[in-house]
Amino acid sequence: MNIGRLSTSFALQQAQGWLQSNQSKLNKLQEKTSTGQNVNRPSDDPLALANLLNVNQGINHNEQYIKNIDVGLSELQSTDSAVGQVVDIINRASELATQGANVTTGINGMTSISKEIDLLTNQLVQLGNSSINGVYLFAGVKTSAAPFVRTADVVTYSGTLSTEAYQREIDIDNTTTTTLNTPGDRLFGDSTSGLLKVMIDLKNNLAAGSTTDTRARLDELKTQLESTLSIQSEVGANINRLTLTKDRTNNSQDSFAQLYAGIQNVDMAKTITDLRFQEQIQQTSLSVLGRVLPKSLLDFI
């Protein structure tokens, strides 16, 4: 009698464990079909969860890199536009200097040209103070204030010098940074050196009617043009670099998204089939146990 009771009690415990296990599987399948996700809590699949976290971290990092690149491209494109206008101004100044150096131009003509050179110089100062979203492009790291001020023939530059730590950098991937800015003193100079000095000297040479000094300025303008074209090339190369990096990062995002979906997204057709099969197992189990267990209890009580 005791052996029979023990056996029946053990069988009942086994049956309950089996039913609970089947019900747990059924619940998970139902949850998967409801959410469309394979992992709804850490206990579902710890390894898959770890993979999802790694993939999600990669996605988040790429999102930040893309934001950085977009900011960088906006600034570099504005810089490229400004440098292009500087090239145009140098070319125009060279044309005017060539006219002014011609002895047939005469003092009146040279005076008129001198005034246009003065206007071009003002345009250079304005370009030197170019800004985007409140950031002065050519101020080095002192981006909150206009770097150039002109008072008569004196132009001062108060931005970060090219001999100092002027670089403003952004991360464009997990191992690479790039410099966005060009220091203003390198591109424009001031009234003591560089392009602005050449322009002010040219204006004064023309106003004084000196064809000899005007010709000397032509050679200096050629040197400034070469330097500016070199800067323009650097900016253009940086734009291309960021554009290619953004394309590569977007492709990486697509790969991450596919990987994430492969881990997390439910194969709905298979899951529904598994769910129906599990439901059949559970119903069959309940039916069989409902008939078998009561009979066993009556036999051994």
8 Å CB contact between 272 and 26: no
Q: Is residue 257 part of a domain?
A: no
Contacts 24+ apart (CB under 8 A), 44-49: 48/263, 48/264
- What pLDDT score does 73 carry? 97
Residues 93 and 206 both lie in one domain: yes
- Which is nearest to 127 in space by CA: 57, 51, 184, 178? 184
Residues 217 and 136 both lie in one domain: yes
Q: Is residue 65 part of a domain?
A: no
Entry pTM: 0.78
Section 180-206 average pLDDT: 97
Residues 206 and 139 both lie in one domain: yes
Domain that holds residue 185: 72-231
Which of 96-105, 112-121, 162-171, 221-230 comes out lowest in average pLDDT?
96-105
Residues 85 and 227 both lie in one domain: yes
Local confidence band at 298 (pLDDT 50, 70, 90 cut-offs): very low
Cα–Cα distances in angstroms (integers) from residue 72 to residues 68, 168, 181, 231, 281, in the given order: 6, 10, 9, 17, 60
- What pLDDT score does 48 carry? 84
Per-residue pLDDT tens for 37-55? 777 777 777 888 899 899 9
Cα–Cα distances in angstroms (integers) from residue 263 to residues 40, 59, 267, in the given order: 12, 14, 10
Residues 86 and 218 both lie in one domain: yes
Q: Is residue 20 part of a domain?
A: yes
Section 59-77 average pLDDT: 97
Q: Is residue 58 part of a domain?
A: no
Local confidence band at 22 (pLDDT 50, 70, 90 cut-offs): low
Residues 288 and 168 both lie in one domain: no
Q: Which of 231, 248, 274 is the last residue of a domain?
A: 231
Residues 214 and 81 both lie in one domain: yes
Asked if residue 297 has pLDDT above 60, the reply is no
Q: Which of 231, 256, 276 is the last residue of a domain?
A: 231
Q: Which of 179, 205, 231 is the last residue of a domain?
A: 231
- What pLDDT score does 15 carry? 58
Q: Is residue 52 part of a domain?
A: no
Residues 138 and 274 both lie in one domain: no
- How many structural domains is the chain composed of? 2
Asked if residue 280 has pLDDT above 80, the reply is no
Which CATH number goes with the domain that contains 137? Answer: 1.20.1330.10
Residues 83 and 186 both lie in one domain: yes
